[in-house]
Amino acid sequence: MSERELGQFLLLLALLFGATYLLFGILERLKIPGILGALFVAMGAHYTVVGELISQGVFYEAFTVLAELGVLFLLFFIGLQIDMKAMRSQSSNIILATVLNTLIPFVLGVWALRYLEYGWTISLVVGLTRMPTAEAVIVPILDEFGMIKTKVGNYIVGAGVLDDVIEVFLIALVSVWIGEKSGLLSQNSEEVFQLGLSILVFVAAAWAVRKWLLLPLSRWLKIRVPNLILLTIIILFTFGGFAEYSELGLVVGAIVAGMLMRPVFDAAGETGIHATKTVRSVSYGFFGIIFFLWIGMSVDLEAIIRVPELTILLFLAAFVGKIIGIFLMVPLGQLTSLEAWTIGIGLNARLTTEIIVAKLLFDAGLIDTHLFTALVAASSLSTVVVPLLFSLIVSRWKGALLSSVHKTGKASAKKRHQKKG
């Protein structure tokens, strides 16, 4: 990037950030998280000269790198806040919720394609794209409302992380199927084996670093905020880089890095609190805005108009399917109806997985332009509808959601007391 191009790029960012800043004020008065302002600004800019300039060539490459750093820092901060004890206490319910909120959308997705007379193989593959969740989109909104450490937050983050594992195997499965069609099955099968090995190495490395390395390493330098931030960046880039390189994804690497650094920040006392605030300021003041600007630039609303029936069917297969799946937890006594609505809508956040799968299938000539356009459009529709709807629900019923958590906690404590008695 030349000096002139760098200057143009910075001016474009200044324009987008300026418009976002102005919209922040309006959204905050409406009790909608300001960070969504970046999404709406970028959606509008997408159809202007600014959008055209920043969506091509060297500008787009730089913008994408910054957006991926945004994912890293946002989800690292979320990982810092995860309460592992609370997560473990709800682990069986979170696993069940993940199974239900992926199985039902899959079935509905297959039905939608079969209804439109697509073949069984394509229907099954596209049905799989209805399963994953892009928690990178919804978790920052949770944090804006101070609900990361609640039951709703634990379900969305926990199920979202498990969904990320599903995403990895989904892409691997599609790659194997494409390899079979193109005569490259052995090569793709080897890649799946390497993926499984990478997961084992990643888990082992995370466990070893947490148990033996991080606390002694944090004392190598004086416990100060700049030194903790430096160590944070080292751990974040190491695990984020390894996760991305081994195709586990930035999301998994970033959240794990945050979980690893939490004991270090806790041990640092007041300095750790200041370091946490610094990470949050950088994440939400710069990288988070870049990330939501990038999402907004990726939204293709015109595609919805081109293939409305298939787009709406694909959107509803995921949206309704996930809500039904989570609502099955209500009769089991694990969630209230309000919690189920909130979690079900939160888990409907979409981003890139279905687009990646669609692109793989389209490039291999296994799906037509009509279906490819509909998959992109359904993802775009979710990107617009879900964050806004989720924000409105949490804003309206935050008090009730928090009170239901307290009631659940008291009821659980009462049951434990009765068992002891």
Query: What are the pLDDT digits (tens) for 38-70?
Result: 888 888 888 888 888 887 788 888 888 888 888
For residue 420, tell me if it sits in a domain.
no
Q: How far apart are CA 325 and CA 32, in angstroms?
A: 27
Ramachandran assignment for 247, one of left (phi > 0), alpha (psi -120 to 50 degrees), beta (any other): left
Residue whose structure tokens are 């293709």: 300
For residue 2, tell me if it sits in a domain.
no
Task: Give the contacts of 64 (CB within 8 A, at least 6 positions apart).
Answer: 294
Q: How far apart are CA 337 and CA 327, in angstroms?
A: 7
For residue 271, tell me if it sits in a domain.
yes
CATH code, domain with 223: 1.20.1530.20
Judged against a pLDDT cut of 50, whether residue 152 lies above it is answered with: yes
CB–CB of 42/297 below 8 Å? yes
Task: Give the contacts of 69 (CB within 8 A, at least 6 positions apart).
Answer: 287, 290
For residue 129, tell me if it sits in a domain.
yes
Specify the number of domains making up the chain: 1
CB–CB of 122/367 below 8 Å? yes
Structure tokens at 181: 């069609």
For residue 416, tell me if it sits in a domain.
no
Judged against a pLDDT cut of 80, whether residue 187 lies above it is answered with: no
What is the number of other CB atoms lying within 10 angstroms of the CB of residue 194? 13
What is the number of other CB atoms lying within 10 angstroms of the CB of residue 352? 16
What is the number of other CB atoms lying within 10 angstroms of the CB of residue 53? 16
Question: Residue 411: what pLDDT?
Answer: 44
Position 370 confidence tier, pLDDT thresholds 50, 70, 90? confident
Question: Residue 421: what pLDDT?
Answer: 47
Cα diameter, the chain: 75
Residue count (the chain): 421
Range of the domain at 101: 9-408
Question: Residue 35: what pLDDT?
Answer: 74
What 3-state DSSP class applies to 252?
A: helix
CB–CB of 63/298 below 8 Å? no
Mean pLDDT confidence for 395-402? 80
Question: Residue 413: what pLDDT?
Answer: 44
- pLDDT digit string, tens, across residues 209-250: 888 888 888 888 888 888 888 988 998 898 888 887 776 667
Q: How far apart are CA 181 and CA 360, in angstroms?
A: 12
CB–CB of 349/39 below 8 Å? no
For residue 290, tell me if it sits in a domain.
yes
Name residue 64's amino acid.
T
What 3-state DSSP class applies to 114?
A: helix
Q: Where are the alpha helices (DSSP H) in 219-352?
A: 225-245, 250-267, 270-282, 288-298, 301-306, 308-327, 337-346
Q: Which of 24, 322, 395, 29 is nearest to 155 (CA)?
A: 322
Q: How far apart are CA 28 and CA 32, in angstroms?
A: 5
Axis-axis angle for helices 353-363, 369-420 (nearest 10): 150
For residue 4, tell me if it sits in a domain.
no
Judged against a pLDDT cut of 60, whether residue 405 lies above it is answered with: no
Q: How far apart are CA 148 and CA 259, in angstroms?
A: 14
CB–CB of 284/35 below 8 Å? yes
Mean pLDDT confidence for 357-367? 72
Q: How far apart are CA 125 and CA 123, in angstroms?
A: 6
Spell out the long-range contacts of 120-127 with Cβ–Cβ below 8 A and sequence spacing 24 or more: 121/177, 122/361, 122/366, 122/367, 122/371, 125/174, 125/177, 125/357, 125/361, 126/314, 126/367, 126/371, 126/375, 127/317
